[in-house]
Amino acid sequence: MSTMLQGRNRTLAVVGLAIVAIALAGCSKKNLRKPAELKDISNPAIKLQTVWTASAGDGGGKYYTELRLALEPDALFAADIDGRVYAFDPKTGERIWEARTHKRLVSGPTVSGDAVLAGTMGGEMVAVKRADGAPLWSSQLASEALSPATGDGNRIYMRSGDGKIYSLDADSGSQQWTVDRSEPSLTLRGLSPPVVIGTNVFIGLDNGRVLALHGSDGAVAWEQTVSAPTGRNELDRITDIDAPLLSDGGQLYAASFGGEIVCLDDQTGQVLWRHAVKSYSGIARIDNLVVVTDADGTVWGLDATTGTEKWKNDDLKYRQLSAPTIFKDYIVVGDYKGYLHWLDPKTGAIVARDRAGSKPIRFAPVVGDDMMYVLSSKGHIAAIKLRS
């Protein structure tokens, strides 16, 4: 998965995590970390089948974007940097419609009610009709709309690159309230999307904190530190929470690039446990296991109740892993070469592997009843299922 460092000017040149590693090591090429070579799997536990493939335009192109898949019963939605939003039949991959927004899209799509939402490089949130892609509305924000939006039916919650959090009316896009949170001088490029639980909205911030707001007016319910800045320079002090928060049964899981994953009580913000893991990608849960991929490409399995380590797998180190997802009782992660690795949740061992193209898989695949859908950074979509 590719990421980048950015200052307050929000530059757009993309660098890989390997370059971040060089910077941290004093810019010496001899410290460049070589991705782990893949080991053969002599007897794969499962057989996989690619059911269909499709193209969502150019994907993010040469930019790092937050363009992801959104799966709903009626369609699989995607978007690209050139301003196109797509709806595909999830069973066949047939394109249902294509909408042209004539904007540079960098986040989304997100589905809320009858609208499909995407954020632009120019700081707009645009909405098109879910049924046919016809324009609905657009709303101008203060800066780049890099965070995927989240809706609760009546409101749309989203973030812009300058630290502002917005609530927009779902029908018109008009701004209802704004909360301003200052950004550190140097951050990773990427923003954790808002998560709605009941009447509250939760946001992971670039200062290493989780913020809980009342959805009705933006008032602060609580705020909790996941990771505090430490170190002598700006690189060492990066604490971004860029990974999506994970909500499960009254518990909220958050991972920080500052080196901590925590489990919080979503009503009070109380820290239930914390574990030292440095991550920017994401978290998944299966039964009583929390799974997280760290910044170095190690996959961790942690006890969901206590945070204690149950296993870790470093066979994929420095392969720039996506966030994990759970499909048919297996853990699945993508890498920078388009490979999908299937792990046994009991042991963390890799039990199968396939490939969904040759381009990086930056975000967790999305899962339906019978198929899993994978998007590459260049807009290639693959629908995969297990063979009997």
Q: Which of 287, 199, 222, 214 is nearest to 248 (CA)?
A: 287
Least confident residue range of 107-116, 231-240, 353-362: 231-240
Q: Please write the tens of the pLDDT for every residue from 285-300.
A: 999 999 999 999 999 9
The reported pTM is 0.91
Residue 87, H or E segment: strand 84-88
Percent with pLDDT over 90 in the chain: 82
Q: Please write the tens of the pLDDT for every residue from 189-245.
A: 889 999 999 999 999 999 999 999 999 999 999 999 999 888 788 887 888 999 999
**Residue 143 reports pLDDT greater than 80:** yes
Provide the pLDDT confidence category of residue 380 given band limits of 50, 70 and 90.
Answer: very high
Percent with pLDDT over 70 in the chain: 92
Per-residue b or e along 30-65, where b marks 16 or more CB atoms closer than 10 Å to that residue's CB: eeeeeeeeeeeeeeeeeebeebbebbbbebbbebbb
Contact 386, 369 (CB under 8 A): no
Q: Please write the tens of the pLDDT for every residue from 37-49.
A: 999 998 999 999 9
Provide the pLDDT confidence category of residue 9 given band limits of 50, 70 and 90.
Answer: very low
Residue 311: CA count within 13 A, CB half-sphere: 12
CATH number assigned to the domain covering 65-189 = 2.40.128.630
Mean local confidence (pLDDT), 99-124:
96
Contact 319, 327 (CB under 8 A): no
Mean local confidence (pLDDT), 173-183:
91
Q: What is the pLDDT of residue 19?
A: 36
Q: What is the pLDDT of residue 16?
A: 40
Q: Please write the tens of the pLDDT for every residue from 297-350.
A: 999 999 999 999 999 999 999 999 999 999 999 999 999 999 999 999 999 999
Per the prediction, the chain carries an average pLDDT of 91
Q: Please write the tens of the pLDDT for every residue from 56-83.
A: 999 999 889 999 999 999 999 999 999 9
Residues 348, 351, 356, 358, Cα dihedral to 10°: 80
